[in-house]
Chains A and B, each alone.
Chain A
Amino acid sequence: EIVLTQSPGTLSLSPGERATLSCRASQSVGSSSLAWYQQKPGQAPRLLIYAVSSRATGIPDRFSGSGAGADFTLTITRLDPEDFGVYYCHQYGSSPGTFGQGTKVEIK
């Protein structure tokens, strides 16, 4: 199965700053099948990005995804206080689908 490694483990930034989250796969992710989710305490994850760079319905344009092959990035420009939480990448191109271990974004 494909192992996804996310970095950094924790990101502590101030509102208005830029956040860059990395997701590296143990092998190439097929068909650009890479998604990103945000999870807040006590809630189910929420889809942000699918197919590497497509924003889900209702997701603000300060969230963007990029990458190819085995290296992917989620960028949050101009961090908003509501953006705190844990972010997970997810590959769904190969079975079994797998998730990264998460990056926690803390708002200073």
Chain B
Amino acid sequence: QVPLLQSGPEVKKPGSSVKVSCKASGDTFSRYIINWVRQAPGQGPEWMGKITPILDVSNYAPKFQDRVRITADKSTSTVYMELSSLRSEDTAFYYCTRGHYYDSWGQGTLVTVSS
């Protein structure tokens, strides 16, 4: 069983929003925090925020505080990351990861922002 399974690639217009999903299997949803990390082409990863799914408590990096929302659906063990006011610089792979250090990563979702 894959611990974290993400939704498919997205192409968005500048100014719009994107919502990426991450389905957690087994005990991952109940036992771990889930993070969202993004990686722009040729750059290092960048932490965006996290959620403790069983408590439904989220924390965000200051850089994304005004534009990102991370939520969890207990009925489907799925975590969502929504990023608004998209711009070209948001073009990147978006990963969900688990834990404080990331022992499991989703396969990544490419979000392309282009007019």
A interface with B by C-beta (< 8 Å):
1, 33, 35, 37, 44-47, 50-51, 56-57, 88, 90, 92, 95-102
Contacts and interface: CB of A to CB of B under 8 A. Distances in A.
Contact of B101 (A44, A92, A96, A102): A92
Given A95-B59, A96-B62, A47 B47 contact: no
Chain A contact residues: helix, strand, loop or mixed: loop
Contacts, number: 48
A105 to B, nearest CB: 15
Given A92-B100, A95-B59, A100 B44 contact: yes
A46 B102 CA distance: 8
A97 B49 CA distance: 9
24 contacts: A37-B102, A44-B105, A44-B107, A44-B108, A45-B45, A45-B102, A46-B105, A47-B102, A47-B103, A50-B103, A57-B103, A90-B101, A90-B102, A92-B100, A92-B101, A95-B59, A95-B61, A96-B47, A96-B61, A97-B47, A98-B47, A99-B46, A101-B43, A101-B44
Given A45-B105, A50-B103, A88 B47 contact: no
Nearest to A57: B103
